[in-house]
Amino acid sequence: MATLFTRIIDGDIPGTFVWRDDQCVAFLSINPLRQGHTLVVPREEVDHWIDCPPELANHLFSVARQIGMALQRAFRPTRVGLMIAGLEVPHLHIHLVPMDGVHDLDFANAASSVETEELDSAAEKIRSELRRMGVPGADH
């Protein structure tokens, strides 16, 4: 059975995408820790990050770095946090979170819901920065 993330990737469930390429996608979290909270997800269903093929892992972190740079420019946080928790959905995903303190990475503080307009606005800020950076995977 397809994971929740595969269903989002396949378009069965809506997602607010900022990146698409042949190996991975990135979309905004519907329960963000902070505005701009983005998930980088491989198209391949890999459950645990330690099982990820090295070439795919390298690509995921390269994409995460580029999106992290766009998040830094778009939201001006102190840092962009990166986390692999892997308990919520059995499909590898990298959390990128604009943060001003370690408390910003606490899932207890996640929004229970966010308006579609807020997700769309944050996504456009990220895509705009990716385009400004000349990044080819930016979802238009």
All structural domains of the chain with their residue ranges:
4-132
Task: Give me the average pLDDT of each 10-residue run along the chain (140 residues).
Answer: 93 96 97 97 96 98 98 98 91 97 93 94 96 82
Return the pLDDT at 73: 98
Whole-angstrom distance, CA of residue 105 vs CA of residue 96: 10
Return the pLDDT at 140: 56
Return the pLDDT at 90: 94
Q: 4-132 — its CATH code?
A: 3.30.428.10
